[in-house]
A and B are shown apart, each in its own frame.
Chain A
Amino acid sequence: MAGSGKIHLRPNSEPILVVQDLVVNYKVSRKTVISAVAGISFDVLRGETLAIVGESGCGKSTLGRAVLQLPRPQGGTVVLDSIEITALSGNDLRDIRPRMQMIFQDAISSLDPRLQVKNIIDEPLKAWKKGTAAQRSEKVDDLLDAVGLDPEIVRDRRPYEFSGGQCQRISIARAIALEPMLLVCDEPVSALDVSIQAQILNLLQDMKDKLGLTLIFISHDLAVVKAVSTRVLVMYLGKICEVATPDDLYAHPAHHYSRALIAAVPIPDPEASVDKIRVTGEPPSPINPPSGCRFRTRCESASDRCAAEEPQLQEIGLGHFVACHHPLIK
């Protein structure tokens, strides 16, 4: 974006999640504040997979966590299933928690190394008093089975005995134990080998279809995003650049940043023509972000207007929105 606006919201389609003007600031010293998420709005429809993409440091993980109130954002509203969770008290928020779960990037370290797998998955069930010990134990076996692990073999082991892919399966089982409606996946496959990555992506898709989940999928890998998402939100330094369906975005990126991100994906074909569009350098510090459009310092089409005026999201096609003064398609 690096811009703002809410034109891309779809209030008439009964979204399951509506986020408006979300702001997350981090204090880095007594006087300095980083605005990691600077007024972002988006919505997610039931059964959709919204992908949030961007480079490291663009605020995508912070955004995902802020939706789950981990920690609570400094500004803006989050409405999940018609309940404004940003306005809830601590206790009421806790009651909502089973409806929204998260899968973390580093599967191995997100599991307690001292617990046996059965206790890891039982923990949420126990905390929410879902049935007797025997019922829960049965549920744990069902969950392990559902994520493709053999309960007999896996139940009594501890996380260090498993590979990264298997640990990610365990954390998926834990996340779906309470049958959430919203699942936030923060780079769930970026630490895995390509062969294992495909297994986990397919598993997520299966779970989504089976349980009617709605997903927010955070990733920096555009090829992965294309395989799983139904809508993509491109983020840069805490702002939105572009929102589109994956087919639209990849065929006709409208934002200069989106185009560069797509061009950077390596193609597994030595004879493919390589798109030589490159962004140079790395994102500037969010402590002192550029004025106007935040991407302008790395954009070849940047003009004076980009420095003076923050671009607002505008619709350039059906369901395709871009925040740029000089979009690649109009």
Chain B
Amino acid sequence: MTALIKLTDFSVSFSTPRGDLHAVRGVDLSINKGESVGIVGESGSGKTVLSRATMGLMPSTATCTGSVEFNGVDLSRLSRKDLRNYWGTGMAMVFQDPMTSLNPVRRIGSQITEGLIVRLGMSKEQARGRAIELLDRVRISDPFATMKKYPGELSGGMRQRIVIAIAIACTPELLFADEPTTALDVTVQAQVLELLAELRQEFNMTMLLVTHDLGVVAGQTDRVVVMYAGQIVEAATTKELFKNMKMPYTEALLKSIPRLDQQAGQRLKVITGRLPDPTKPEPGCAFAPRCLYATDKCRSEQPPLVTTQTGHQYRCFFPLGGAN
């Protein structure tokens, strides 16, 4: 298998009045064609910045270092204009908030056809036909009428389907889905996740699913990357990760989720405290201040990212269940 996208020592920082804010720190990540990878972490862990920076969607206050190779081409060396050639056809993104990621004053039809006309060079008529097919594909019940509507006339679930239709319009090789269901009801969330899984199969897409919900990741991905304070702290196949967690952080994150198979009225386990200030990196392990097992070593020394024989990666001096 070949890597479709490969990040090497990738970092993103923002200059702010309080000093440099290190949102992503030294990430190495390689995703193979056809894989579905989940990136999990709390708000502020750098997961959204990582996915957006990979696509090159960063404001001018951001500094990215390291390399992003897409199909062997280093995107970080490309000009803005050349990079554009990869958007839509190479990679596309489903954004988190369907309420704000659509243009409120343009009809749905023109927002879907835009990419088809600009990127694929279709005529207006062709694009319209394809857009209707796409709407039908994302299970919009009346595609013809929906083409003429404005986003404000649609529900959150329908808008998220439109955002997905726009993202897959030019059949991208890599689809980023940034918290695609966070703003939705559970029933609609289940429908949208199912739709994404189907489309991934159908178009043979590689998917990067960014979420804070380990429950969503469990059913949708082959591999999971857990981020904390801008770093990868654990990475493994989904099955391995849930069966054999190494990082105390991942365990704490999983335990804090209320579960249906738990008895009613049970007290939830919590992770006390919150993420460290990204402008002042911790000298030791970033999770140490909140970790149940932290020692003096953890507080003073950065743990390296260890890779086991099975390919399980973790960043901890005292992994759960020992070093194997």
Chain A positions near chain B (C-beta within 8 angstroms): 55-57, 163-165, 193-199, 201-202, 205, 220-224, 226-230, 245-247, 250, 260-272, 274, 278-282
Contacts and interface: CB of A to CB of B under 8 A. Distances in A.
B186 A202 contact: no
B239 A271 contact: yes
Contacts of B274: 163, 165, 196
Given A193-B42, A265-B260, A279-B187, A227 B265 contact: yes
Contacts of B187: 55, 260-261, 264, 278-279
B219 A222 contact: no
A236 to B, nearest CB: 11
B185 A220 contact: yes
Contacts of A222: 186, 260
B260 A56 contact: no
B271 A195 contact: yes
B186 A278 contact: no
Given A163-B274, A278-B194, A282-B158, A267 B259 contact: yes
Interface of B: 42-43, 141, 155-158, 185-191, 193-194, 212-219, 238-239, 242, 252-254, 256-272, 274
B43 to A, nearest CB: 5
A271 B244 CA distance: 13
Contacts of A193: 42-43, 212
Given A205-B267, A227-B266, A269 B218 contact: yes
Contacts of A165: 274
B215 A266 contact: yes
Contact of A267 (B42, B219, B239, B269): B219
Nearest to B186: A264
A158 B175 CA distance: 40
Given A230-B265, A247-B264, A199 B270 contact: yes
Contacts of B193: 266
Given A198-B258, A198-B268, A227-B265, A270 B186 contact: no
A284 to B, nearest CB: 11
Nearest to B155: A282
Given A165-B274, A282-B158, A194 B257 contact: yes
A246 B268 CA distance: 16
A183 B72 CA distance: 58
A223 B259 contact: yes
Nearest to A278: B190
Q: Which of A245, A246, A266, A272 has the most CB of B within 10 A?
A: A266
A229 B264 contact: yes
